[in-house]
Amino acid sequence: MTSELAVSARGLVKYFGDRRVVDGVDIAVPKGLIYGVLGPNGAGKTTTLRMLLGIIEPDEGTRTMLGRAHPREASDVTGYLPEERGLYPNMKCREAIAFMGALRGLPWAVGRKRADTLLENAGLGHAKDEKIRKLSKGMAQLVQLLGSVVHEPELLVLDEPFSGLDPVNQEKLEKLILGERDRGATILFSTHVMAHAERLCERLSIIAGGKVRFEGTVADARALLPMKAHYTPHHNVDGAGALLPRDAERENGSWRFTVPPDGIESLMVRLIDGGFGVSGLSIERPGLHDAFVKIVGADALKDQEEAA
Ligand SMILES: Nc1ncnc2c1ncn2[C@@H]1O[C@H](COP(=O)(O)OP(=O)(O)O)[C@@H](O)[C@H]1O
Ligand SMILES: [Mg+2]
């Protein structure tokens, strides 16, 4: 079983001063998957990733990475994009990428060659001989990301990789992550932005206040919430409201409400019998964002928006 896991941890705890910022985290990342660690700012995501990587030691708990006794023994087969970005500003892009590979044991000549291919595939072929300091912040971040995969790691750990990228570069990053997964790598990434997680994650953990509040697939998370109906009566939109569930909200000529526990059919029969008719009906499962709000609470999200 353990051999199927790229990362596994039990009961991780970390104190900063007397604050227990990671409070007993278990995590199991199956090999070959894209795994998300989601949570509001300050949840303990970065601290958890740093413990998993062996950059800091946990105060309690155990973890293994790629089967090694200490995660640092796996550093040559691991790639890492830290939350604080940084490359040497005077290095050219190709050299910066090859340099990051060399730090993980990749021969320079191989690194340079791969750097050219990686830059071309990312649409940055024109920047090979450009110095880092000449790049936009987002481009420099992409180059750093290429540097974290140049040695073709088995495991790629990305801390908030989408932060600081514009939508075009975010899309490039999504493609890059999918490409790495297709190559056979395991990807573990943190984010507080749900849209990327919803598209990319094959499994995820939601962390808040240093504890894991949810573990499962995106579909599992979304299934925590009831379906929503969007109903457009054919006649007398106002009148139909009297038959609808209490949470029904009027939206121009239609209504939105939670599908009742006994399903939508009997409600529709009552509406048709009442002469309101149906000119439109759709049923939607709420998205990961709504599931996230339910799991971590609206307050945590409000804190996050204020911090952003
Ligand atoms: N080196 C540190 N010293 C003291 N407090 C820290 C340190 N790093 C993080 N913290 C605190 O620990 C909590 C969790 O931080 P972090 O792991 O960075 O959360 P996240 O990545 O989910 O935003 C936060 O309240 C943060 O202020
Ligand atoms: Mg963080």
155-183 per-position pLDDT tens digit: 999 999 999 899 999 999 999 999 999 99
79 Cβ closer than 6 Å to some ligand 1 atom? no
Mean pLDDT of 91-118: 97
- Residue among 68, 198, 85 nearest 148 (CA): 85
**Residue 271 backbone dihedrals phi, psi, to 5 degrees:** -70, -40
Among 14, 15, 21, 296, residue to substitute to test ligand 1 (most atoms within 8 Å of Cβ): 21
Tell me how far the alpha carbon of residue 246 lies from the centroid of ligand 1, in angstroms: 42
**Residue at token pair 């007398």:** 236
- Write down the pLDDT at residue 301: 63
Tell me how far the alpha carbon of residue 125 lies from the centroid of ligand 2, in angstroms: 31
pLDDT at 217 over 50: yes
Closest residue by CA, ligand 1 atom 18? 46
55 Cβ closer than 6 Å to some ligand 1 atom? no
219-235 per-position pLDDT tens digit: 999 999 989 999 999 99
- High-pLDDT (> 90) share of the chain, %: 87
Q: 15 pairs with which residues across the strands?
A: 20
User: Can you read off the two tokens belonging to residue 206?
Assistant: 């939601």
- Ranges of beta strands (E only) in the chain are 5-16, 19-30, 34-38, 60-65, 78-81, 155-159, 186-191, 203-208, 211-216, 228-232, 249-251, 254-258, 280-284
82 Cβ closer than 6 Å to some ligand 1 atom? no
46 Cβ closer than 6 Å to some ligand 1 atom? yes
Helix axes 93-103, 108-121, angle to 10 degrees: 130
- Write down the pLDDT at residue 213: 95
The DSSP result for 143-177, as a single string, is: HHHHHHHTT--SEEEEESTTTT--HHHHHHHHHHH
Instruction: Render the burial of 265-280: b for 16+ CB within 10 Å, e for the rest.
Output: eebeeebeeeebeeee
39 Cβ closer than 6 Å to some ligand 1 atom? yes
pTM over 0.85: yes
Compute the distance between CA of residue 9 and CA of residue 275 in angstroms, rounded to an integer. 59
Confidence grade of residue 120 (pLDDT, cut at 50, 70, 90) = very high
Please state which of the four CATH numbers 3.20.20.70, 3.40.50.300, 3.40.50.1970, 3.40.50.2000 is assigned to the domain occupying 2-222. Answer: 3.40.50.300
- Write down the pLDDT at residue 51: 97
- Contact present, 295 and 206 (Cβ < 8 Å): yes
209 Cβ closer than 6 Å to some ligand 1 atom? no
- Residue among 207, 145, 151, 154 nearest 174 (CA): 145
49-66 per-position pLDDT tens digit: 999 999 999 999 999 999
**Residue 70 backbone dihedrals phi, psi, to 5 degrees:** -125, 135
Closest residue by CA, ligand 1 atom 5? 16
Measured at the CA of 193, the angle between CA 118 and CA 154, to 5 degrees, comes to 40
Confidence grade of residue 261 (pLDDT, cut at 50, 70, 90) = confident
| Burial (CB count <10 Å: 0-12, 13-18, 19+), residue 242 | exposed
- Write down the pLDDT at residue 307: 53
Confidence grade of residue 2 (pLDDT, cut at 50, 70, 90) = very low
- Mean pLDDT value across the chain: 93
Closest residue by CA, ligand 1 atom 2? 16
Domain locations along the chain = 2-222, 228-284
43 Cβ closer than 6 Å to some ligand 1 atom? yes
Among 19, 38, 47, 59, residue to substitute to test ligand 1 (most atoms within 8 Å of Cβ): 47
- Write down the pLDDT at residue 266: 93
45 Cβ closer than 6 Å to some ligand 1 atom? yes
**Residue 93 backbone dihedrals phi, psi, to 5 degrees:** -50, -50
- Contact present, 161 and 182 (Cβ < 8 Å): no
For residue 17, which ligand has an atom nearest its CA?
A: 1
40 Cβ closer than 6 Å to some ligand 1 atom? no
110-to-47, 98, 116, 218 alpha-carbon distances in Å: 33, 8, 10, 38
